[in-house]
Amino acid sequence: MIHRIATTSLATALIAMTTPSHAAETSLTIYSGDFDAVTQSEAQAGGPGFALVERRVAFDLKNGDNDVALAGLPRALDASSVLLKPSAGASIRGQRFDFALAGQDELLRRAIGQSVTVEQAVGNERQVLAGTLVSAGNGLTLRLNDGRIKVLANFSSFELPGLPAGMVNEPTMNWSINADHGGRQDFGLSYATAGLAWRAEYNVNVQGVGKDCRMALEGSAMVVNRSGADFKDAMLTLVAGEPNRVSAAGPEMMAMAAAAPRAKMMIADSAPQAQASGEYQAYKLPNAGSLPQGSVQHLPLVNPVTDVACERRYESSSNTGDWTPPYPIVDANYGATDGQSQPVIATLRFRNAKTSGLGLPLPAGRVRMFDGQDFLGEANIAHTPANADVSLAIGNVFDLSVERKREDFSLDREGRTMTETISVTVKNAKAVANTVRINERLSRWSSWEMTASSLPFDKRNAQTASFDVPVPAGGEAKLRYTVRYRWAADVNIPH
């Protein structure tokens, strides 16, 4: 089920059962990846998304042993990661995490042996029964106050005097702390949690075609919180990177539905500077803000840049794929696509370098491309360091078409060669002339030579050659080439 993400929160306020002080500062570090999975999931330990939380808490302690608790934690919290760092004069003797109440069945199971009041429908009336809960499963079994046993196959509602011992209605950490003096003491709290993620969102506006292309680019970060808790007055750091994590399933937790107060949003007047963070890039926002449960926030990430050098290219590739054969493919019909059309793809290419007007780390995310007011398409971009080349597929071109045909094939087994002639016809229904790059996968064998070609070609790799085919407005053009494959005497070819 897809859950809509709202800009308001459904979470409980952060409280502590022994009245911890308000955090002077909460540091929230969210790692990229899993954005779509987080937006469509409920908070659960071991679920998608990953973040690290650091904050300060304080407890009023007495001299000696103390039992303290802190509630309002994320339902997606990784209990094994929780670390409470005491100040001088205190030590942690034990730590326990109580998961939130899972549901009615678990509540009844834990309430066995306790007093319960049950309401049951009898005809058009309601009957109220009070007693001790003996068993719960397919219905309820009660020991009534007069000693009789009452078995209820169904019931309308039940009432308990309080939560059974050891149960909580929200995730709660419990600690046993030994203090060498009484008074209020500060602690550092850190933990990891799922349910938080972010990704980059880029808007690109391009002008011109071919190598005369120029583009404007700006980037923002979309941050989602479905961890099951609000984060208030937190210093936020976004890390472009996905550390390896060991998957661990967490228990199911109940969904909370307490209304959250209005919170100060995360804000930034400009994009933060990227900083190295281990093997990754980090973006630290300059101001504290709040990230409510169930919200998605839009934050600056890359300041707008203009007049970036780019190239808008039309490309069409043969459909033989990237498979590398274990021996020469001598079947004359291999890869035959005679008369079949193949799509022409519009692409946008640029170099992420200062010489092109960029030269910035570009975190992974989605790129929306426009030509003025016209929407061109969307593409995903991977984590891209400075000085790397970027290629984005815009979409299929409506008024350019390509047909590929095999014109000839010959095999000389004794001479250990085969020769193939291919023609490619490009048609242009546009009112202006265009150039289409034809990428041909020479997939019969890895050793080849071009013996004839109607147009110049570039050898892109061991099995790919590309041809730039100029096509007049409202016209067509044809590429024709012949390739010869050779193989060594010790290469075996199946008959």
Confidence band, pLDDT 50/70/90 cuts, at residue 257? very low
What pLDDT score does 203 carry?
95
Most confident of 228-242, 326-340, 381-395: 381-395
Confidence band, pLDDT 50/70/90 cuts, at residue 115? confident
Span 4-15, pLDDT tens digits: 333 322 222 222
State yes or no: pLDDT of 40 exceeds 80. yes
CATH code, 151: 2.30.30.520
Averaged pLDDT, 63-68: 92
Judge whether 223 lies within some domain: yes
Q: What are phi and psi of 77, to 5 degrees?
A: -60, 140
What pLDDT score does 360 carry?
85
State yes or no: pLDDT of 281 exceeds 60. yes
Confidence band, pLDDT 50/70/90 cuts, at residue 100? low
Query: In the chain, what percentage of residues exceed pLDDT 90?
Result: 47
What pLDDT score does 101 carry?
59
State yes or no: pLDDT of 265 exceeds 70. no
State yes or no: pLDDT of 20 exceeds 50. no
- Which among 280, 303, 326 is the end of a domain? 303
| 78 & 25 share domain | yes
3-class DSSP state of 400: strand
3-class DSSP state of 110: helix
Instruction: Give the C-alpha separation, 342 to 340, whole Å.
Output: 7
Span 444-463, pLDDT tens digits: 998 999 999 999 999 988 88
Instruction: Give the C-alpha separation, 456 to 450, whole Å.
Output: 10
| 95 & 119 share domain | no
Averaged pLDDT, 268-274: 54
Full DSSP string of 414-439? TTTEEEEEEEEEEEE-SSS-EEEEEE
Averaged pLDDT, 61-80: 90
- Give the global pTM: 0.69
The strand order across the sheet containing 172-179 reads 64-71, 172-179, 90-98
| 153 & 273 share domain | no
Query: How many beta carbons lie within 10 A of that of residue 219, not counting itself?
Result: 22
What pLDDT score does 442 carry?
92
Instruction: Give the C-alpha separation, 110 to 104, whole Å.
Output: 10
For all residues of the chain together, what is the average pLDDT?
A: 83
3-class DSSP state of 494: coil
Exposure b/e, 374-413, CB count within 10 A at least 16 = b: eebbebebebbeeeeebebebeebeebbbbbbbeebebee
| 269 & 328 share domain | no
The strand order across the sheet containing 464-471 reads 389-396, 345-351, 311-317, 434-441, 464-471, 458-461
| 425 & 482 share domain | yes
CATH code, 412: 2.60.40
Confidence band, pLDDT 50/70/90 cuts, at residue 168? low
Contact 193, 245 (CB under 8 A): no
Which residues, other chains included, contact 4 with Cβ-Cβ below 8 Å and sequence gap of 6+? none
The total number of structural domains that make up the chain: 3
| 60 & 140 share domain | no
Judge whether 185 lies within some domain: yes
| 245 & 124 share domain | no
Instruction: Considering only residues 271 and 67, tell me which one the structure prediction assigns the higher pLDDT.
Output: 67
Helix or strand holding residue 38 (H, E): helix 35-39
What pLDDT score does 213 carry?
92
Span 397-433, pLDDT tens digits: 999 999 999 999 999 999 999 999 999 999 999 999 9
Span 324-377, pLDDT tens digits: 788 999 999 887 766 778 999 999 999 999 888 888 888 889 999 999 999 999
Confidence band, pLDDT 50/70/90 cuts, at residue 247? low
Instruction: Give the C-alpha separation, 449 to 467, whole Å.
Output: 15
Q: Determine the straight-line distance between the first and last CA of the chain, rounded to whole angstroms.
A: 53
| 291 & 330 share domain | no
Instruction: Give the C-alpha separation, 138 to 105, whole Å.
Output: 10
Averaged pLDDT, 63-76: 90
| 134 & 66 share domain | no
Domain residue limits at 471: 310-344+397-486
Instruction: Give the C-alpha separation, 52 to 197, whole Å.
Output: 11
Structure-derived torsion over alpha carbons of residues 353, 358, 360, 364, reported in degrees to the nearest 10: -100
| 56 & 188 share domain | yes
State yes or no: pLDDT of 1 exceeds 80. no
Contact 476, 451 (CB under 8 A): no
Token pair 């099951």 in the structure block, residue: 228
What pLDDT score does 340 carry?
77
Token pair 């007069």 in the structure block, residue: 146
